[in-house]
Structure 1
């Protein structure tokens, strides 16, 4: 019998590899134009229910309130799609375009000297970022500089695509680790005083730790702070943010690789160290996102979960009109 699921996976992979071949052959300007065309199609041609426009616009209102008009919100979401398609193009082109010989032409660095000290200290470092900028670019740069890491990411459903991305990360010396079921690998790496790279900006559910993110409680994974405290690890809240293009002077793109905050878990003296560290890295990520909001993936339901007290109050407030009506 034909395995239709595997047949679909193979077809998806064939389409993806065809796209890879096309994108690798495109000059930089044409690849940017392709990304803008795809973003225009997604944003203006598809039904907004499919593109999660409502989720993105609500998230932007939650984050910025009256700072952004409706027109600015729509433009930010369009630019978000442009950025995401450009990021896909850059990931495909990265193995051929980025190397040690041109790294200072492509990247502008903004980090404290203490970061290098931390990476060479013999203590583990957790490189923490969010779905902001080109996070794959940041990880690749650390690999090129000789700092291999365990890269924690969700496995893709398509095994052929998942294998391609694993090889892509391994090409700069890193090791891919599954977000689901890979906890033992993470512990083993950090026990060997190795480094981890992961994203920490998704909703952690009702059991997560609620800390302020853009002024509103957001459920956040507390395992990051727990790991840092138990194994005396540093947390580097980093980002790789796209800077304005100057194709006349540069052969490729231009990014700023920054460390928004370096957190030393051994220096935390709070009565609630897990809460304190979790709030610190969440606030640092917020500061980074404010620099270029259009480069953040706003379609995630970051504030999906609510604190139990708030949820209880909401249910009570909804039941009052019903009792009055009765």
Structure 2
């Protein structure tokens, strides 16, 4: 059985590598299609995709419903299913919106999509003169939030996970950077992130997923989970302010981005205070998820490494 299994695994890996160009071309073709649609039509199309993935494909459907049920034990099965449906629709909408990024060419274009108040950032950074860490989660349209912030406030460098499909990875990073933002891969983030902050740049981090390399644990949405300390490490080490930005859907296919500075003046760069700051911004993420659960990426198993 050993050699047969090995040959099968090798075939699957080769098939996956050979399929990468096809997947990339399909995504790029989809992008051309949705950019030819009106905004309302693209949104309805995204909902159809979300419903198909949820109800027909069933991608991680049991995991999503279990995560929601454990976080909200007071909700009925019907409520859980309703939230799950909205989750898949929102994820599909986020993806379609990213493919429509080439339609965002000037500030007025992003203002037509996003309500964002960047005044907390200006106040906390001496009108942008200092560096800053901005954290968020896989919530609402986090990709559009980064574009809106970069165009309305100051370009940011986003820490991203490199995709195994290199062509698709390059395409996604092109969308992310076409309006002035930059990206840095996780492996280079410790060095490049500190350099950026010391030079007055803005470093963006998504701080809501499981960290397999974490050595600290706490609670996230009422369950034991790994604690993401990276954002706290950067902010306290570089002595720069830290902000949480959360993007959520509002009426008419628009989004609202709300930003708040997290208190750091009472903290110094040490393990205990890194833990304290991590809890502070994690609490903000939790507040949004509890209030608008349909906006979060429940497909990720946040508690798998606990």
* TM-score after normalising by structure 2: 0.87
- Judge conservation of contact 1:202–1:220 (CA < 8 Å) in 2: no
CA change 1:218–1:161 in 2 (3 A) is same
Counterpart of 1:115 in structure 2 is 121
Q: Distance in 2 between matches of 1:89 and 1:208?
A: 36
Aligned with residue 10 of structure 1, among 16, 21, 36: 21
Q: CA deviation at 1:208?
A: 3.6
CA change 1:266–1:41 in 2 (3 A) is same
- Judge conservation of contact 2:205–2:231 (CA < 8 Å) in 1: no
Counterpart of 2:205 in structure 1 is 198
- Judge conservation of contact 1:212–1:282 (CA < 8 Å) in 2: no
Structure-to-structure mapping, 1:69-88, within 5 angstroms: 69-88=76-95
Secondary structure of the 2:108 match is coil
Q: Distance in 2 between matches of 1:102 and 1:176?
A: 22
Counterpart of 1:262 in structure 2 is 261
Q: Distance in 1 between matches of 2:237 and 2:128?
A: 17
What count of residue pairs does the alignment treat as equivalent? Answer: 291
Q: Which runs of 5+ in 1 are unaligned?
A: 246-252, 307-326
| Structure 1, 262-271 or 292-301: larger mean CA deviation | 262-271
CA change 1:34–1:275 in 2 (3 A) is same
**RMSD of aligned Cα (Å):** 2.2
Q: Distance in 2 between matches of 1:86 and 1:114?
A: 28
Larger Rg: 1
CA change 1:302–1:4 in 2 (3 A) is closer
Aligned with residue 62 of structure 1, among 45, 55, 70: 70
Q: CA deviation at 1:90?
A: 0.9
Secondary structure of the 1:65 match is coil
Q: Distance in 2 between matches of 1:14 and 1:293?
A: 33
Q: Distance in 2 between matches of 1:271 and 1:44?
A: 45
Give yes or no for the alignment of 1:29 onto 2:40: yes
Q: CA deviation at 1:5?
A: 5.8
Counterpart of 2:163 in structure 1 is 156
Counterpart of 2:251 in structure 1 is 244
CA change 1:130–1:234 in 2 (3 A) is same
Q: Which runs of 5+ in 2 are unaligned?
A: 1-13
Q: Distance in 1 between matches of 2:189 and 2:233?
A: 16
Q: CA deviation at 1:295?
A: 1.3
Q: Distance in 1 between matches of 2:86 and 2:184?
A: 31
* TM-score after normalising by structure 1: 0.82
Q: Deviations over 1:186-240 (max 9, x none)?
A: 1221222211011001112373422332222321222221221111121111111
- Judge conservation of contact 1:40–1:78 (CA < 8 Å) in 2: yes
Q: Distance in 1 between matches of 2:56 and 2:199?
A: 50
Counterpart of 2:11 in structure 1 is none
- Judge conservation of contact 1:154–1:178 (CA < 8 Å) in 2: yes
| Structure 1, 213-222 or 148-157: larger mean CA deviation | 213-222
Q: CA deviation at 1:121?
A: 5.0
